[in-house]
Structure 1
Amino acid sequence: MVLSTQIAVAQGQQFVYENKVYQPQIRTVQCYNAQKEQSLPILTLKSNEQLVFSFDDLNGSSKNYSYTIEHCTSDWKPSRLSPLDYLDGLSEDRISDYKFSFGTIQKYTHYRLTLPNSQIKPKISGNYLLKVYEEGNAQKPVVSQRFYIVDNQASIGVDIVPSSQVSLRFSNQKINFTVVHQSPIQNPYTDLKVIVMQNGDPLTAITNTKPAFIRPGSILYNELNSNDFPAGNEFRKFDIRSLRYKGANVQDILKDSTTNVILFQDVNTNKAKYTNLVDEDGNFFIRNQEGRDNDTDGDYVGVSFTLNATQPSANGDAYIIGRFNNFQLNEASKLNYDASRKRFYGNILLKQGLYDYKYVWLDKTSGKADQTVFEGSYFETGNTYQVYAYYKRPGSRFEELIGFTSISNLKR
């Protein structure tokens, strides 16, 4: 079940500046602000907030994993700063907090890290990439994870409204926002960049560089056709906290030398009416009902997905996405298609817990991923939107993250 299509890490492999797992035995990567489980990995500069980062190594035993962090630009490229410019303390350290699994069929080692810590502390705001690698060798990457440090110099007011385009009014949500700043911003057209994202999914990110209006102390972004997002549909979900009893959306549990969970068949909801379901906007939560420690007592199971739907076009592939796989369209998340039965199917190895997921179609001809083909899109859908404001001061060598907000269109 481990990603057989992936090639083992070769000497000299390079880190990429995104959330990525480089070795097939590394699973269940989590990264969030310690104040709330599975929150976005954003910390306030010079606060007591901490980032919790963890992963499992299915090879078991203990390994010498090192880590470092690197400052990045707003579009996730190296900012070319020296570690002395953005770090207090050491430039790298070893992950020393690990525990072995207990009572599970699949043996694994759970590694955990908190940032900032006594060894490594970011000292400026902006985008950061956490890099984990083997034996102190950055040429042997294991995991990379994006996170953010915000220096709250600006507040962001957000308004979520129906699309201004008549044809999209019942399917899209438009985001209008205002950046309210205390310090003067000399030229917002060149010095300020604002990124809007839906449900923390990097695939949805829209970059804003030209405001609609500039007023003393505030900058408005509300152009007629800007920041228009397909609202999509509520996430599907399943519950594998227990392997003794069938949770939500679980049709069968098969136990042998390994454990496999078969989910009920999903249908294409593109043509159905909107149904109000409570979801977690794509999140997942590691839980198990048979053990005491979610980190080490939860087992790994093969989860079988089936989608009853025809191929939208001849040249494309269907994928399963959620925060559990960083919304990535890769070999591990790709589904196979059975033309005779008109259905997609796949199997993913996952740790016990609660999961949100969606089906996405990637058209190979256009290269565009579409979340609405199998799910539909309805203005009523509950989504959270993230707005990041970056400011590059005149003469400065890096972009500061001066403002951030995350807002839902639903009040629950």
Structure 2
Amino acid sequence: MQKTIILYLAFISSIFSAHTQEIAPPEYIKTIQFKGNSEFSGTPIIQLGTPLLITFDDINGDEADYYYKIRHCNFDWTPSILNKNEYLDGFDDIRINDYENSFNTLQTYSHYFLRIPNEDTKALKVSGNYIIEIYNEDEELVFSRKLIVYENTSTVKVYTKRSRDLDFINTKQSVQFEITPHNPPLRNPKKTVKTLVIQNNDIKNSISNLTPQFTIGNSLIYKYDQEASFWGSNEFLFFDNKEVRTSTVNIQKSDLEDIYHNYLYNDRVRAAKNYTRNPDINGGFVIRNLRANNHDIEADYVWMHFTLECYEPIGDGNIHIYGSFNNFKIDNSTLMKYNKNTGMYHNTSLFKQGFYNYKYILVLPDNTIDYGFISGNFDETENEYTVIAYYRAPGARYDRAIGKGTGNSSTITN
């Protein structure tokens, strides 16, 4: 009997824990965006007390009812032990009342927007990791997204360096940083301080839990090389279909069927080519329609056709499109399929009008990602790095996010 109870509790715990991981949306939910003081690409990171706007489209266009819940998590995204009233001022599990239907578009959709704070949810009271969950009227989880809320109680300085390993000096970038608390020193930092280092706001491509190597005064110093290094990769490719009816610098033709179809020029493998500076927005996207007054509801959906010329053997791996347009998700919708007739890889995906960054990655059989197989890896590549410092004081019950720092590899040094 006791064994049965233990197994049951473990089962319930596993279900609850699973909900603290991001759940990808179904095909009819598109263009999930987070906005604070600016738009976020990838995982949103906001300062405690900053208003937050969450928007998404339902291309069923049937004005369905959606509800939201907010969960607080530990550093490792397991559920924290805080009660809801300890981290939330107000209530959640509330219907999202604000939505508009698309206007003057071929693809109908309902555009939902959730503001925090609102009349029900007054504020997030503590820093740390959060999961925002969206449910339908049958209380089924539709999708969830991670959110990091930090306090400005520490200064985090971030520097990018070329690798000290000569084998990687031209292909990797190392991230070094220091954390200085504004208040008294952080106690027992090797055990109480944790860090998260993210490249281009892609939390899937991050390094966690580095310990400080030494201290100078109150400052914790992290001067790792390989342990805190990332592949440089290459600048993201882009397309801009704010005008869907005509060809542009990246779109070779446009057709109208049920909705518009835009065909991109063929992309090629860049791994063996020299690095070329090509400014990007580090995988992000911006929704816009040249002929619209309100981009949120007047930007249309378009079938984008991608073609990649790749003659390198990929073995049992698969090539995917990659970017924050779908929160860096890898699934069948991003798969590039080989066409024997053309000898190229093709993909057709639905995008809302706008400016998008994307790149091609190789996903290996063990689900690891080779970011440079198609794009190449260059130490000159401009990447943005974000470092979040977490602290759980002795006896505390949750992990506070005590500071955020950013650095850019455009200022990389030896």
Q: Specify if TM > 0.5.
A: yes
- Offset at 1:170? 1.1
Q: Deviations over 1:149-175 (max 9, x none)?
A: 111111111111111111111111111
- In 1, are the aligned partners of 2:77 and 2:129 still within 8 Å (CA)? yes
Instruction: Give the aligned partner of residue 155 of structure 1.
Output: 155
Higher relative contact order (CA 8 A, sep 6+): 2
Q: Matched residues in 2 for 1:363 and 1:197: separation?
A: 22
Instruction: Give the aligned partner of residue 392 of structure 1.
Output: 392
1:23 to 13, 18, 26: 26
Instruction: Give the aligned partner of residue 125 of structure 2.
Output: 123
Instruction: Give the aligned partner of residue 171 of structure 1.
Output: 171
Instruction: Give the aligned partner of residue 76 of structure 2.
Output: 75
- In 2, are the aligned partners of 1:190 and 1:209 still within 8 Å (CA)? no
Instruction: Give the aligned partner of residue 112 of structure 1.
Output: 113
> SS of 1:402's equivalent?
strand
- In 2, are the aligned partners of 1:79 and 1:398 still within 8 Å (CA)? yes
Report the AA paired with residue 29 of structure 2. I
- In 2, are the aligned partners of 1:13 and 1:141 still within 8 Å (CA)? no
- Offset at 1:75? 1.9
RMSD, matched Cα = 1.8
- Offset at 1:141? 1.2
Q: 1:63 to 1:72 in 2, by over 3 A?
A: same
Instruction: Give the aligned partner of residue 258 of structure 1.
Output: 259
- In 1, are the aligned partners of 2:283 and 2:324 still within 8 Å (CA)? yes
Instruction: Give the aligned partner of residue 41 of structure 1.
Output: 44
Instruction: Give the aligned partner of residue 405 of structure 2.
Output: 405
| 1:256-295 correspondence to structure 2 within 5 Å | 256-295=257-296
TM, length-normalised to structure 1? 0.91
Instruction: Give the aligned partner of residue 375 of structure 1.
Output: 375
Report the AA paired with residue 132 of structure 2. L
- Offset at 1:36? 1.5
> SS of 1:310's equivalent?
coil
- In 2, are the aligned partners of 1:15 and 1:141 still within 8 Å (CA)? no
> SS of 2:258's equivalent?
coil
- In 2, are the aligned partners of 1:158 and 1:178 still within 8 Å (CA)? yes
Q: Mean alpha-carbon deviation: is it higher for 349-358 or for 151-160?
A: 151-160
> SS of 1:304's equivalent?
strand
Q: Deviations over 1:350-374 (max 9, x none)?
A: 100000001010110x431011000
Instruction: Give the aligned partner of residue 8 of structure 2.
Output: none
Report the AA paired with residue 110 of structure 1. H
> SS of 1:361's equivalent?
strand
Q: Matched residues in 1 for 2:117 and 2:18: separation?
A: 22
- In 1, are the aligned partners of 2:33 and 2:39 still within 8 Å (CA)? no
Q: Deviations over 1:263-300 (max 9, x none)?
A: 00000000000001010000000000122110111111
- In 1, are the aligned partners of 2:235 and 2:381 still within 8 Å (CA)? yes
Instruction: Give the aligned partner of residue 8 of structure 1.
Output: none
Report the AA paired with residue 238 of structure 1. F
Q: 1:194 to 1:54 in 2, by over 3 A?
A: same
- In 2, are the aligned partners of 1:41 and 1:51 still within 8 Å (CA)? no
Q: Matched residues in 1 for 2:312 and 2:19: separation?
A: 32
| Structure 2 unmatched runs, 5+ | 1-14
Q: Mean alpha-carbon deviation: is it higher for 306-315 or for 343-352?
A: 306-315
> SS of 1:167's equivalent?
coil
| Structure 1 unmatched runs, 5+ | 1-11
- Offset at 1:115? 1.4
Q: Mean alpha-carbon deviation: is it higher for 340-349 or for 217-226?
A: 340-349
- In 2, are the aligned partners of 1:42 and 1:150 still within 8 Å (CA)? yes
Report the AA paired with residue 128 of structure 1. Y
| 1:46-65 correspondence to structure 2 within 5 Å | 47=49, 49-65=50-66
- Offset at 1:198? 0.4
Q: Matched residues in 1 for 2:133 and 2:250: separation?
A: 36
> SS of 2:227's equivalent?
coil
Q: Matched residues in 2 for 1:260 and 1:164: separation?
A: 47
Q: Matched residues in 2 for 1:289 and 1:367: separation?
A: 39
1:132 to 110, 131, 134: 134
Instruction: Give the aligned partner of residue 180 of structure 2.
Output: 180
> SS of 2:381's equivalent?
coil
Report the AA paired with residue 353 of structure 1. G
Q: Matched residues in 2 for 1:148 and 1:332: separation?
A: 27
Q: 1:199 to 1:175 in 2, by over 3 A?
A: same
- In 2, are the aligned partners of 1:71 and 1:79 still within 8 Å (CA)? yes
| 1:349-368 correspondence to structure 2 within 5 Å | 349-364=350-365, 366-368=366-368
- In 2, are the aligned partners of 1:241 and 1:247 still within 8 Å (CA)? no
- Offset at 1:223? 2.5
> SS of 1:21's equivalent?
coil
What is the percentage of aligned positions where both structures have the same residue? 32
Give the helix-richer structure, 1 or 2: 2
- Offset at 1:15? 6.1
Name the count of aligned residue pairs: 394
Q: Matched residues in 2 for 1:15 and 1:207: separation?
A: 20
